[in-house]
Chain A
């Protein structure tokens, strides 16, 4: 079946033919064939990246999702070794009843292990655990022109450094060994605190981040003036007791994408205002891990609400010393543009070093915003935001990107040349072509 493959933002809309990898023993042949035909491909996971980093330059992706077998697991130590197409959801379904959780999880559980490694994803606990890659023990890597190899923090370290956060370019990851995190309950003791402006966010974060494993903040990006940056700070810890239960909430699916976007000025203003007011100044709750970590997973294909044109996420991180002014300037620019974001998320990143050469997080504050796609968004908004990020020596997240300039990428990720040097000649993405050749 020739199903097409799209990135999560559904922009840019570049048609992709899909080849599937069902068995690890097929990989060397598939890659060798691509190389032999002078063709390239790109291994992809579950397409949860927003822009074009999960689109092949050749328009021919290699879908790794069918590789979904567990290879070995030791429940005494919490080490799991699994094929690269296993999703975080599948890991949780097995590990939670045995008292183990993901050491790091992004805001959706529908990503594959291979994708989580290749973007070296981060979660709400970056300030205490760093990126996903820090918890990876070993990776199986298949390359087109040499024998498969195993790399990790202790073996073949240079291959590990270009593969973690390596955007799928250093080879195909066929399996991953991960160290899980022990938990006593699948519940989370959470706290929510409303803040009235950006300074209050920084105060709350400084005060509370240290006592919580997880923290994140939602911002009302339509608020202006001295309310700029008002929002809700949310933090939590795994509960010390309670059931170990897998989240089985039923999902609601958006069946198709409407022509136009459901996200517009009216719905945005309503949502942002209501969301802010719906939160009391402070609340403590014990909640399931599902709603706490993955509120958006409750609606399958929610990306379709942006309509046929899709949407873009703008995620940047601004270093600590420039964070306050930088984030304020970004929010002011967004508010001034009148193009609000449905979701605006602030997250403090800690100083634990990432193992990957191109890993996104750095000590500072990350801001993520979603915008419906329209033709002049680059000229009207992103170029302004980019200028602010650049001036603050921040950088953009390739996993979310469909617009950054080659110059910005190369300045922010100077190690890119090392990745290019080790890139598998049979693999390249639209993103990589865009940022290294222009």
Chain B
């Protein structure tokens, strides 16, 4: 039986992962900011066979409450085998270009809250001496595109932070996997006109995440073809990249 903690548990990708974990027997501690939706997910997981689900209401931007909530999760689970950090928002880039407060709020939600939470979580996991932390970053963090660079820069911060933290945790026997999804069909992207051929459903990504964790992957591109696309994009010189409308 696995003991699983999820931050941003109302995310479609997180939900799809949780349903996969249920099959092998699991206890969950779910963190999210919408109590009603968290409850709905908890009931669903229980009906699907989860052994126990506890819900913890928290807006991840309330940094001062992280330690307390984490404590409550540990009390419910005792030990954490897998911690998935999934929360995030996709800002309106245009708005971020004219409103400093929007830009910083979005950066805070996508980067600062993640870094803060990981800092608290890493200490607990280090003490525990085993388990996996999986953090959802994004391919968007691999290169800042003009259409989406506020979000991209926040995810870049998360990716770099995780890269360093992975080394530190490795010495303590804890694994950290950075997840870089491409385009996933979830509430976050429903309003966008994405290239259909590149879009996958959350179940697809969840399957990759669950397997990636089992195999101890360090960085997971999902679906796999992003592992080929992103190096090409990164390899483009700035003199060309700045001219491309991406």
Contact = CB atoms under 8 A, between A and B. Distances in A.
B47 A73 contact: yes
A23 B196 contact: no
Interface residues of A, number: 16
Nearest to B44: A69
B47 A1 contact: no
Nearest to B183: A1
Given A1-B189, A1-B190, A71-B43, 7 more contacts: A1-B199, A20-B190, A70-B44, A70-B47, A71-B40, A71-B44, A94-B47
B187 interface: yes
A282 interface: no
Contacts of A70: 43-44, 47-48
Interface of B: 12, 36-37, 40-41, 43-44, 47-48, 185, 187, 189-190, 192-194, 196, 199
Nearest to B47: A70
A69 B43 contact: yes
Given A20-B190, A94-B48, A72 B43 contact: yes
B187 A20 contact: yes
A91 to B, nearest CB: 11
Interface in A173-214: none
Given A23-B37, A69-B40, A1 B193 contact: yes
Given A1-B190, A94-B47, A23 B40 contact: yes
A25 B36 contact: yes
A22 interface: yes
Contacts of A66: 12, 187
A438 interface: no
Interface of A: 1-3, 20, 22-25, 66, 69-73, 80, 94
Contacts of B47: 70-73, 80, 94
A395 to B, nearest CB: 38
Contacts of B36: 25
B35 to A, nearest CB: 11
Contacts of B185: 1
A3 B189 CA distance: 12
Contacts of A2: 193
Contact of A1 (B12, B37, B40, B192): B192
B187 A22 contact: yes
Contacts of A80: 47
Contact of B37 (A20, A25, A73, A94): A25
Contacts, number: 39
A25 B199 CA distance: 27
15 contacts: A1-B189, A1-B192, A20-B190, A22-B12, A22-B187, A23-B37, A24-B40, A25-B36, A25-B37, A66-B12, A69-B43, A69-B44, A71-B43, A71-B47, A73-B47
Contacts of B12: 22, 66
A24 B187 CA distance: 14
Contacts of A73: 47
Nearest to B41: A69
A70 B36 CA distance: 14
Nearest to B202: A66
Contacts of A24: 40
Nearest to B15: A69
Residue among A23, A69, A71, A80 facing the most chain B CB atoms (10 A cut-off): A69
Contacts of A1: 185, 189-190, 192-194, 196, 199
Central interface residue in B43, B47, B48, B192, by most chain A CB within 10 Å: B47
Contacts of A94: 47-48
A69 B199 CA distance: 23
Nearest to B190: A20
Contacts of B190: 1, 20
A301 B12 CA distance: 25
A24 B43 CA distance: 14
Contacts of B187: 20, 22, 66
A20 B37 CA distance: 16
B17 to A, nearest CB: 15
Contacts of B192: 1
Nearest to A75: B47
Q: Most chain-A CB neighbours within 10 Å: which of B12, B44, B194?
A: B44
B23 to A, nearest CB: 10
Nearest to B189: A1
A415 B192 CA distance: 43
A127 to B, nearest CB: 32
A70 B53 CA distance: 14
List of 5 A-B pairs having minimum Cβ-Cβ separation, nearest first: A70-B47, A69-B44, A73-B47, A22-B187, A70-B44
Contacts of B48: 70, 94
Q: Which of B187, B190, B196 has the most CB of A within 10 A?
A: B190
Nearest to A22: B187
A23 B194 CA distance: 22
Contacts of A71: 40, 43-44, 47
A2 B12 CA distance: 18
